[in-house]
Structure 1
């Protein structure tokens, strides 16, 4: 089972290290982790995707909630949230393959962000199923490099929004 946690934390030195350290000390698995400053520079939003059974996931939430820097932790349920991930893919592409790859990228509304003699670099943002579908269509091409940001997300609507004074 996989769960997405959204944390609001104090924007202090070492906060990400302290949170990830809790996971490693307890032997919890982090599938992805993203962090960035919020609209208020005093705070950082961290999105953590973790795997485990129900007991482990509940324990993760309890342990993270106890950390001094954590102001709020929310579980982002798929039906009540929007998740996104960014991938950048460098694909080997000679002149004859370029148009096919660009056509696939266009279908997914991906951006070609760099073109070299032997390669294309593609940027795509979306949910995990969209990214996986895109990757599957590139299966016949040689992927030279791949970078993924990990999931980030927000809950839908204006209720349950954290306002910090």
Structure 2
């Protein structure tokens, strides 16, 4: 779904065709640089990138949200598999995966706006993590669209600084797996 964002007097419309790749790699120095370098050399656009050690400390999972308008998915995966440290690549269907992202933002908040702003943070299940005389820093985690909506509402207060982690994602559990885990 395209989003419209205001940047000064220009309006930018996000209409990219995104896909989520979960790439399991060897946890070695330089692996992320080689993956990012491959994207740069080929002119592929990375919309979001997150990496951390996986369940096995010798491996890392890289979640890459790619813009398929810059290259076909098949071409991207073929190029990734050429890298020696790549173990497995999975495309995650957004309707069958769990996605999360973290946002930390510092917002202008005058004393008379604080209770209104605190209510907004509560509605989105965020946390106030720092307060000064003129600004408040908040954190929020959730589905990227939830963070998009929150960010749009923050604009009315005045965003001083904002940082988002990029998506992390895993496949959803099927019903039988969830039942086994509950027992």
Asked whether 1:20 is paired with 2:36, we answer yes
Separation in 1, partners of 2:129, 2:55: 27
Give the Å deviation of 1:58: 1.7
The size of the alignment, in residue pairs, is 159
Q: Where in structure 1 do 4 or more consecutive aligned residues deviate above 6 Å? A: none
Distance 1:147 1:55, change over 3 A: closer
Which of residues 17, 21, 26 is equivalent to 1:5? 21
For 2:79, the equivalent position in structure 1 comes to 63
Which of residues 50, 54, 65 is equivalent to 1:38? 54
Give the Å deviation of 1:93: 1.0
Separation in 1, partners of 2:54, 2:144: 23
Structure 1: which 5+ residue stretches go unaligned?
A: 160-165
Does the aligned pair in 1 maintain the 2:44–2:70 contact within 8 Å? no
> RCO higher in 1 or 2 (8 Å CA, sep ≥ 6)?
1
SS in 2 for 1:41: coil
Separation in 1, partners of 2:153, 2:23: 34
Asked whether 1:154 is paired with 2:170, we answer yes
For 2:12, the equivalent position in structure 1 comes to none
Separation in 2, partners of 1:18, 1:140: 40
Asked whether 1:110 is paired with 2:126, we answer yes
Separation in 2, partners of 1:22, 1:100: 46
Give the Å deviation of 1:110: 0.4
TM-score of the aligned structures, taking structure 1 as reference length: 0.92
Cα deviation per residue 1:32-77 (whole Å; 9 max; x = unaligned)? 1100011221000100011024962221111112211000000010
SS in 1 for 2:106: strand
TM-score of the aligned structures, taking structure 2 as reference length: 0.83
What is the CA RMSD across the aligned residues, in angstroms? 1.5
Which of residues 57, 74, 77 is equivalent to 2:93? 77
